[in-house]
Structure 1
Amino acid sequence: MNNDHLKRDIGFFAALSTVMGTVIGGGVFFKVSSVTQQTQSANLTLFVWLLGGFLTICAGLTAAELAAAIPETGGAIKYIEYTYGRFPAFLLGWAQIIIYYPANIAALSIIFGTQFINLFHLNANLTIPIALVSGISITLINFLGAKVGGAFQSISLILKLLPIIVIVIWGLFTPAHVSFSLIPLTSGAHNSFFTALSGGLLATMFAYDGWIGVGNIAGEMHHPERDLPKAIIFGLFSITIIYTLINFVFLKALPISELAGNLNAASDASLQLFGRFGGKFVTIGILISVYGAINGYTLTGMRVPYAMALENQLPFSNWLKRLSPHTKVPYIAGFLQIGIAIIMMFLGSFDLLTDMLIFVIWIFNVLVFIAVFILRKREPALKRPYKVPLYPVIPIIAIMGGLFILGATLLTQTGLALIGLLMTGIGIPVYFIHRKIQS
């Protein structure tokens, strides 16, 4: 595969920053609500955060082999197209356009609205209007150009780490308000262990989401065979530790009954730890983190319909591939993305949206993991600057973990899974009708 057009100027630390900056978003603060609601147990809550991190590390190490071998713009879409053909790749692109990116933007905007109201003690009816303002304002910022959106993302990355560091360090050395035992693993009285485990694991996966996009930088690294797996291992391992520690602090600060189903749990725990002023300071940091996370999905998301439109794969491709004359931003694709996100803000809650997008995206994640086996057999001579370690054990773990997430969602949240499948399936007639019109 010819990579001469790629400029290799990314080193290990830049790759590590990309891993951590992509994955860490709003989920670390707000999924404690749904995880504890599912598990109803402190020790099972910590276990599913560790298990989610382990599965994510295996998944990242597996996908990195394809990222190094197929270092093309588009990431997972290109891996699937190379392995399975254009139709499955189109469905992934369609799912990202219709569900993945808009649902992320909508869910995080709702969280921003919830936290803004909590901070300033406003009327709860203002949640959606504030969510609309946050989502639309980020889109408008990105219309100023990729340089502006990228700079905003870099600044927010630094700022989003501050409340995490403060909460973890202070919380670990503060006497516990709530005590609990780490063993034996137990679930709450109202859920079976399997239901609690699967529901909790699914909820954590939103917080770990974003790792597969790291593969986009493989072709621009100095030594992808050496630095990419190191960045993924250290990055995802560090994130797993951070997520586990911050949830340990939350569980020390508040009882399960006050965490479960409480979207203000992070803010309430901060108030318990730091008092009124310190708690508000941390909440402001959380708001900045969430706002930056919305920017990350907006910045990258609007490029998906644009890239597909360049290859004339979508209806109205002539419109979707238009760039603004001065900033060279795909503004029509941006309007499409925020339009779908606005509809989702009115129709869904934070947890509903995030669980649905995780189910859909993991269908394609599993296909990516399987692709490693297919290409090893079909194209043994394909240049692989990096190979997944402990093959085939780690890819099998990644596949089994993905199948567990999908199966558990189908069993415990059947309606949610069917909605995601239906929205993805709408892309099937779109693909064939558009193809017939073009022929």
Structure 2
Amino acid sequence: MGGPASEAASAADAWGERLPRKLGLWSAVAVLIGSTIGSGIFRTPASIAYHIDEVWSFALAWVAGGVVALAGALTFAELASMYPRSGGIYVYVREAFGRLPAFLFGWAELLILRPAAYGAIAVTSSEYAWRVLGVDHSELLLRVGAVSLSRAQLLAIAMIVVVGAVNRRGVEFGAVVQNLSTVLKVGALLGLIALGLVLVPGELPMHAATLRPEAPAFVLGMVAILWAYDGWCDLGFVSGEIRDPQRTLPKVFILGTAAVVGLYLAVNLVYLRVVPLAQMVDSPLIAADVAAALVGPIGVTLIAAAVVVSTFGTLNGSMMTGPRVFYAMAEDRLFFSALAKVHPRYGTPTGSIALSVALGAVFVSVRSFAELAEHFVIGIWPFYALSVAAVFVLRRRQPDRPRPYRTWGYPAVPLLFLAASLFLLISYAVQQPLVFAVDLAILLTGVPVYLWWSRRAA
């Protein structure tokens, strides 16, 4: 299915990977951090403050989200070092539970999750870019049939096409963009943290803002927080392109996730020092408001520019990682064979990248899918849970398989992640039964599709 270069790479690679291994340690760190830090940390605190109205609870929720993310990263590090192949979660679920659950993950990625990520990230980056330029992003510029496209939508589509073209040219080319954007976004957050700690003396106000029921509100706040932390697992999708993977992958999963958690906790401390929790509810662009309070109107422009860089980097990271899921499915003959082709010169799954670009452009153009996609974010968590559960299954089934890294704190750490996943999913199902039912129904449409592909492959 690939050219001579890919066949030679497959023969030379100890794990049978056909994509060339070109990513080093720091590029892999940039992929993880860049895929995680997007627009969430700049925006979600306002929605979390709406649900969680007490400072200690607000802080506890962010700490809890960080602990869950670290528990997941510690566990994924074992899986990635065992199976350093393209596809990440798809590969882990397939090896532990079979092809159908793995296909359903790919089906969810294809139908909603990945195009939703491309669309939502690109639109956010585009809107902030026009804001920096002082131009109205909502003005309609183009009509295609029944679809009207605004200035923000057109630029968002252009961004998706650009990152697709960048990643088509080679994973190392995409890594250059990722490294640069990650340095800039981390630098912006560190600058905001430093300004907040130096310029705003005093202690945090620890009183409650209003009275709302705690348990359901805490769960809804956690959903938003886990969305902000989401992305730490994306490194697994490009495991097949990382050099010395059995040593590099555990380091990157653990160090990269820990760095994100530390940054998030520090920047939320600054948010709380500058904007009281009661006022944070009315501050959807909290980072811009904090920057304005610290350095004046210029701070708003600087933060808007930082969000553009941050979200563009996240979009690039998502384009580096997401197509590898479709590539892995096609290699298993559960998807169109063209998606498993590797470019003979660039060593990239060009068909899968082209599909990802098309999906993102469609999502941006048809904005009516936005609400569904936002709710369907919860659909990724069953597969996170399955991946972590795979550690227990594979230790029993394949006790002699080489494990260069074993999950620290096993079995308590993966059990903690599983408990958090079940708590989140059950609570969400109780509080949002209709949305949960729709999510499940969309996921189950993949079963007959899988059966058809399986017969076709046979």
TM-score (normalised: structure 2): 0.83
Q: Deviations for 1:289-348, whole angstroms, at most 9, x for unmatched residues?
A: 11221222133323433442344313xx15655778987622541344224422563432
Structure 2 residue 360 is the aligned partner of structure 1 residue 338: yes
2:169 alignment counterpart:
146
Q: Which stretch of the first structure deviates more once superposed, 93-102 or 168-177? A: 168-177
Structure 2 residue 145 is the aligned partner of structure 1 residue 137: no
How do 1:63-102 and structure 2 match up within 5 A?
A: 63-102=76-115
Structure 2 residue 369 is the aligned partner of structure 1 residue 347: yes
1:254 alignment counterpart:
275
Structure 2 residue 174 is the aligned partner of structure 1 residue 155: no
Cα offset, 1:211, TM superposition: 1.6
Counterpart-to-counterpart distance in 2, 1:247 and 1:310: 43
Question: Kindly tell me: are residues 91 and 251 of structure 1, through their superposed partners in 2, closer, same or farther at Cα, counting changes over 3 Å?
Answer: same
1:3 alignment counterpart:
14
Counterpart-to-counterpart distance in 2, 1:161 and 1:130: 28
The one-letter amino acid of 2:383's match is F
Aligned match for 2:46, one of 11, 23, 33: 33
The one-letter amino acid of 2:159's match is I
8 Å CA contact 2:209, 2:278 repeated in 1: no
For structure 2, which runs of at least 5 residues remain unmatched after alignment? Answer: 1-12, 141-148
8 Å CA contact 2:130, 2:136 repeated in 1: yes
Cα offset, 1:177, TM superposition: 9.3
What SS does the aligned partner of 1:3 have?
A: coil
8 Å CA contact 2:122, 2:157 repeated in 1: no
Q: Deviations for 1:52-99, whole angstroms, at most 9, x for unmatched residues?
A: 000110111112111111221111111111111111111111111112
Counterpart-to-counterpart distance in 2, 1:302 and 1:131: 24
1:295 alignment counterpart:
316
2:448 alignment counterpart:
429
Structure 2 residue 79 is the aligned partner of structure 1 residue 59: no
Question: Kindly tell me: are residues 73 and 230 of structure 1, through their superposed partners in 2, closer, same or farther at Cα, counting changes over 3 Å?
Answer: closer
The one-letter amino acid of 2:113's match is Y
8 Å CA contact 2:38, 2:310 repeated in 1: yes
Q: Deviations for 1:13-52, whole angstroms, at most 9, x for unmatched residues?
A: 5554443233222212122122112213333222211110
The one-letter amino acid of 1:403's match is L
Aligned match for 1:194, one of 181, 201, 215: 215
1:245 alignment counterpart:
266
Cα offset, 1:252, TM superposition: 2.0
Cα offset, 1:137, TM superposition: 1.4
8 Å CA contact 1:206, 1:355 repeated in 2: no
Question: Kindly tell me: are residues 234 and 303 of structure 1, through their superposed partners in 2, closer, same or farther at Cα, counting changes over 3 Å?
Answer: closer
Question: Kindly tell me: are residues 282 and 187 of structure 1, through their superposed partners in 2, closer, same or farther at Cα, counting changes over 3 Å?
Answer: closer
Counterpart-to-counterpart distance in 2, 1:47 and 1:384: 34
The one-letter amino acid of 2:356's match is G
Counterpart-to-counterpart distance in 2, 1:178 and 1:256: 13
Question: Kindly tell me: are residues 255 and 344 of structure 1, through their superposed partners in 2, closer, same or farther at Cα, counting changes over 3 Å?
Answer: farther
Question: Kindly tell me: are residues 171 and 219 of structure 1, through their superposed partners in 2, closer, same or farther at Cα, counting changes over 3 Å?
Answer: same
Structure 2 residue 297 is the aligned partner of structure 1 residue 312: no
8 Å CA contact 2:34, 2:317 repeated in 1: no
Cα offset, 1:129, TM superposition: 2.3
Q: Deviations for 1:346-388, whole angstroms, at most 9, x for unmatched residues?
A: 4325xx644522x111100111111111111222112211111
Question: Kindly tell me: are residues 395 and 125 of structure 1, through their superposed partners in 2, closer, same or farther at Cα, counting changes over 3 Å?
Answer: same
Q: Which stretch of the first structure deviates more once superposed, 428-437 or 62-71? A: 428-437
Q: Which stretch of the first structure deviates more once superposed, 171-180 or 54-63? A: 171-180
Aligned match for 1:224, one of 242, 246, 262: 246
Question: Kindly tell me: are residues 28 and 323 of structure 1, through their superposed partners in 2, closer, same or farther at Cα, counting changes over 3 Å?
Answer: same
Aligned match for 1:382, one of 391, 397, 401: 401
The one-letter amino acid of 1:86's match is R
Paired residues, number: 428
Q: Deviations for 1:391-434, whole angstroms, at most 9, x for unmatched residues?
A: 11111101111112212221223333233222222211211233
Q: Deviations for 1:176-195, whole angstroms, at most 9, x for unmatched residues?
A: 699412x8xx6841x31112
8 Å CA contact 2:29, 2:256 repeated in 1: yes
Q: Which stretch of the first structure deviates more once superposed, 326-335 or 82-91? A: 326-335
Aligned match for 1:20, one of 22, 33, 40: 33
8 Å CA contact 1:409, 1:417 repeated in 2: yes
Counterpart-to-counterpart distance in 2, 1:233 and 1:321: 30
Question: Kindly tell me: are residues 292 and 411 of structure 1, through their superposed partners in 2, closer, same or farther at Cα, counting changes over 3 Å?
Answer: same
Structure 2 residue 417 is the aligned partner of structure 1 residue 398: yes
Q: Which stretch of the first structure deviates more once superposed, 136-145 or 210-219? A: 210-219
What SS does the aligned partner of 2:199 have?
A: coil
1:166 alignment counterpart:
191
Counterpart-to-counterpart distance in 1, 2:119 and 2:245: 37
Q: Which stretch of the first structure deviates more once superposed, 3-12 or 380-389? A: 3-12
8 Å CA contact 1:101, 1:298 repeated in 2: no
The one-letter amino acid of 1:146's match is R
Counterpart-to-counterpart distance in 2, 1:187 and 1:61: 36
Question: Kindly tell me: are residues 114 and 418 of structure 1, through their superposed partners in 2, closer, same or farther at Cα, counting changes over 3 Å?
Answer: farther
For structure 1, which runs of at least 5 residues remain unmatched after alignment? Answer: none
